[in-house]
Amino acid sequence: MSLLDHLTTRILQDGPISVAAYMTECLLHPKLGYYTTRDPLGPQGDFTTSPEISQMFGEVIGLCLAQSWMDQGQPSRFILGELGPGRGTLMADILRATRRVPGFHQAAKVVLLEVSPELEKKQAETLREYAPEWVGNIAEFPDLPLYLVANEFFDALPIRQFLRDGDSWRERLVGVSAGSLTFGLGPRTEQSGLKHRMDDTTDADLVELCSAATPILTTVAQRIATCGGSALIVDYGDWRSLGDTLQAMQNHKHSDPLENPGQADLTSHVDFEALAGAARAAGCAYTRLTPQGVFLERLGITARAQTLANSLQGSELEGLIAAHRRLTHPEEMGNLFKVLGLYPAQSAPPPGLDS
């Protein structure tokens, strides 16, 4: 049975499902889900993330985390963690860049949160010399200072979508019509979680909620506030959600989110205001939301590119220049992607970010 058949049967039996339920089935169904059945990254996959574009991305982030570790007194044992580590490329670049930081590797324990069996195999191969551990839930991270990176993790968490209708909201649902999946709307309801959006929305505005993000962010923030550490959340999105941002990527091209369920990556823009609110409620400080390009430039990515360029020529040099531009230029990933840092209230923010 295909995932489309499975979803059609479920909807016809039980009624339309939320966008969140649809995303969860598409991405994480144990036998038919997108992440559970394939490696989605790279030229042969459906999308490419910053670590796959250039080693420079992970190198400067690694040095940022190492400096944060030093600023907090170099704790003798800590967790070097990543949420959704892909093929392990980012963590490998972080570890390579920090190899010469005295005491950093000796104190670090690499812990990865991953739900994809296929990607876990790739991570094990990429990071075999560092003996990483895997967890399936953020609460399983050991109770130690936590230095964490989450690159394009929160965008893949399931969202619910609500359309404003007067003083109420109608949830966007996925149903079946003429044998195909289609969007529809549920009845008018009050949504306590959207009371604060009555002032900045009007009729027919669509707002997205990612309830799955809050407990994850809360756990990370509580750990950092209590034990020390810092977190770098890098993703596309903005301070506040507004409008339909659900998108599907297949073969590096945008596609209809309701076509080919389980065969395309589904993501949405991150509502960084909600993440910051969860951090604040957990007693953790957070930085100003900063464009990725600005963040990487502050960390010295141009100087690193110049160093690498000295040993390159021809197509390799052209590739380096293109990678630098793609990561930092405002018209590429530089402004679309943002960075939010978490840190203990009594400590300095991570380098490259402002309090």
Sign of the alpha-carbon dihedral angle for 133, 135, 140, 141? positive
Measured between alpha carbons, how far is 125 from 313 in angstroms, rounded to an integer?
Answer: 30
- Mean pLDDT over 72-92 rounds to 97
Please report, rounded to a whole number, the percentage of residues in the chain having pLDDT higher than 90. 88
pLDDT of residue 44: 61
Residue 143 has pLDDT above 70, yes or no: yes
Residue 205: pLDDT band with limits 50, 70, 90:
very high
Residue 209 has pLDDT above 80, yes or no: yes
| More confident site: 30 or 65 | 65
- Mean pLDDT over 140-160 rounds to 97
CB-based contacts of 43: which residues, under 8 Å, 6+ apart? none
Average pLDDT, the chain: 95
pLDDT of residue 216: 97
Q: Which helix (H) or strand (E) holds 305?
A: helix 301-309
Measured between alpha carbons, how far is 163 from 27 in angstroms, rounded to an integer?
Answer: 24
- Which tens digits make up the pLDDT trace of 89-142? 999 999 999 999 999 999 999 999 998 888 999 999 999 999 999 999 999 999
Distances (CA, A) of 222 to 5, 93, 131: 42, 27, 26
Residue 42 has pLDDT above 70, yes or no: no
pLDDT of residue 41: 72
pTM, full prediction:
0.94
pLDDT of residue 35: 86
Three-class secondary structure of residue 132 per DSSP:
coil
Determine contact, residues 75/69, Cβ cutoff 8 Å. Answer: yes
